[in-house]
Amino acid sequence: MITTVTLNAAIDQVYEMNSFVMGQTNRVMQKFQQGGGKGINVARVIKALDGDVLIGGFIGGLNGEKIKASLQEQRLPTSFIQIEGESRICLTVTDYQTKEMTELLEEGPTIQPHEWKKMLRWVEVQAESSEYLVLSGSLPKGLPPNAYATIIHLLKQKGVRVTLDTSGEALKQGIEAIPFAIKPNEDEISQLIGKPVEKQEDLIQAGEKLRDLGIEHVCFSLGEKGALFINSTGIYQVNAPKINVVNTVGSGDAFLAGLIYKLSQGASDEEAYRWAVACGSVNAGEKEIAKVQKESVESLLKELQITNVKVR
Ligand SMILES: Nc1ncnc2c1ncn2[C@@H]1O[C@H](COP(=O)(O)OP(=O)(O)O)[C@@H](O)[C@H]1O
Ligand SMILES: O=P(O)(O)OC[C@H]1O[C@](O)(COP(=O)(O)O)[C@@H](O)[C@@H]1O
């Protein structure tokens, strides 16, 4: 089974507008919302691909209840830890005219020490039934920057393959615990290497260093440019297909879902890499966040080539 953990779960709220102008009154044309946050989105896509998945994380307050209800409605299995604080709202505003998306992400609740202890015990129990575990998203307040590193250390001892998708210090410290896979986007890669990514060679150098630490799948997601993957056999590039972009929010989560779903099915690395890009790109062409159809992914896959840029 694949378990996903969202320490900072959210209601993902989308507002669609004819135009969005800062400092003015803006009218919302359409809105929709659902339970989200990165790990929950990953799980939603894994389920859509027919994978066996369990959603874990912290939820609290009325927003927490709404998240739970939305996931129940979508028939997604959950096992949350209830907290004293209130889960957050993450708002995406899409502008029909400019086609731009603006994200407003609340910081989220503060986790109490006893709630964190409960989470660590929960994670240990899940290790018994989870072959893969995905840790995704920002750390809520109250948790130390080595929170993900702590979980990775715990789970690795038990043979669980842990994937990490986060940013900043939590990512840096998580990497020191050597997860099974990571998926930084361009911003996160820049944070890691301490300078903007200017050329493919920057990515290759950074990727090889990370791979040499022992991370099995270093996956650099590059938006409309697709992705670069570094593993023990080489460096692989998958270009993203040209699509009519509607809403890219959740594309990174869909990417990760495609990758872990295929690896868990015993697919080759190259096949899993193509699925990752296909899932990310299908999501970018949809209005809703992390709601991809397996048929759309299979049809897009026909357009995706994988190139072995370098043999290692
Ligand atoms: N404009 C786009 N056109 C086609 N595919 C896209 C586009 N933006 C994102 N994707 C797909 O989604 C994947 C993840 O997107 P990316 O922006 O790198 O991640 P994140 O959402 O984490 O920032 C990409 O590798 C690609 O497959
Ligand atoms: O946990 P974070 O980093 O604050 O991000 C939360 C947001 O990330 C998302 O999961 C989207 O992430 P991606 O676009 O990177 O896939 C939103 O749905 C969510 O609201």
Query: What atom of ligand 2 comes closest to residue 136's alpha carbon?
Result: 1
Q: Would you say the CB of residue 253 lies under 6 angstroms from ligand 2? A: yes
Where are the chain's structural domains? 2-19+30-311
Q: What is the pTM of this model?
A: 0.97
**Ligand number nearest to the C-alpha of 166:** 2
What is the pLDDT tens value at each position of the chain, 312 positions in all? 999 999 999 999 999 999 999 999 999 999 999 999 999 999 999 999 999 999 999 999 999 999 999 999 999 999 999 999 999 999 999 998 998 999 999 999 999 999 999 999 999 999 999 999 999 999 999 999 999 999 999 999 999 999 999 999 999 999 999 999 999 999 999 999 999 999 999 999 999 999 999 999 999 999 999 999 999 999 999 999 999 999 999 999 999 999 999 999 999 999 999 999 999 999 999 989 998 999 999 999 999 999 999 888
**37 Cα–ligand 2 center, Å:** 5
Quick one: pLDDT at residue 99? 87
**Ligand number nearest to the C-alpha of 38:** 2
Query: What atom of ligand 2 comes closest to residue 248's alpha carbon?
Result: 14
Task: Determine the residue of 105, 188, 189 to mutate for testing ligand 2's pocket, defined as the one with the most ligand atoms within 8 A of the Cβ atom.
Answer: 105
H, E, C per residue of the chain = CEEEEECCCEEEEEEEECCCCCCCCCCCCEEEEEEECHHHHHHHHHHHCCCCEEEEEEEEHHHHHHHHHHHHHCCCCEEEEEECCCCEEEEEEEECCCCCEEEEECCCCECCHHHHHHHHHHHHHHCCCCCEEEEECCCCECCCCCHHHHHHHHHHCCCCEEEEECCHHHHHHHHHCCCCEECCCHHHHHHHHCCCCCCHHHHHHHHHHHHHHCCCEEEEECHHHCEEEECCCEEEEECCCCCCCCCCCCHHHHHHHHHHHHHHCCCCHHHHHHHHHHHHHHHHCCCCCCCCCHHHHHHHHCCCCEEEEEEC
**143 Cα–ligand 1 center, Å:** 29
**Ligand number nearest to the C-alpha of 280:** 1
Quick one: pLDDT at residue 175? 98
Task: Determine the residue of 105, 248, 256, 274 to mutate for testing ligand 1's pocket, defined as the one with the most ligand atoms within 8 A of the Cβ atom.
Answer: 248
**280 Cα–ligand 1 center, Å:** 5
**233 Cα–ligand 2 center, Å:** 31
Catalytic residues: 253
Tell the CATH superfamily of the 2-19+30-311 domain: Ribokinase (3.40.1190.20)
Q: Would you say the CB of residue 188 lies under 6 angstroms from ligand 2? A: no
**224 Cα–ligand 1 center, Å:** 5
The residues pairing with 98 across neighbouring beta strands, listed in sequence order, are none
Query: Measured on CA atoms in the order 54, 179, 239, 288, is the torsion positive or negative?
Result: positive
Q: Would you say the CB of residue 255 lies under 6 angstroms from ligand 1? A: yes
Query: What atom of ligand 2 comes closest to residue 185's alpha carbon?
Result: 15
Paired tokens of 98: 């400019």
**183 Cα–ligand 1 center, Å:** 11
Q: Would you say the CB of residue 280 lies under 6 angstroms from ligand 1? A: yes
196, exposed or middle or buried, with CB in 10 Å at 0-12, 13-18, 19+?
Answer: exposed
Quick one: pLDDT at residue 295? 97
Cα 112 vs. chain centroid, distance in angstroms?
24
Quick one: pLDDT at residue 312? 84
C-alpha dihedral (168, 133, 183, 224), degrees to nearest 10: -120
Quick one: pLDDT at residue 310? 86
**Ligand number nearest to the C-alpha of 183:** 1
Query: What atom of ligand 2 comes closest to residue 252's alpha carbon?
Result: 16
Q: Would you say the CB of residue 8 lies under 6 angstroms from ligand 2? A: yes
In Å, how far are 133, 174, 260 from 177, measured between CA atoms? 15, 5, 19
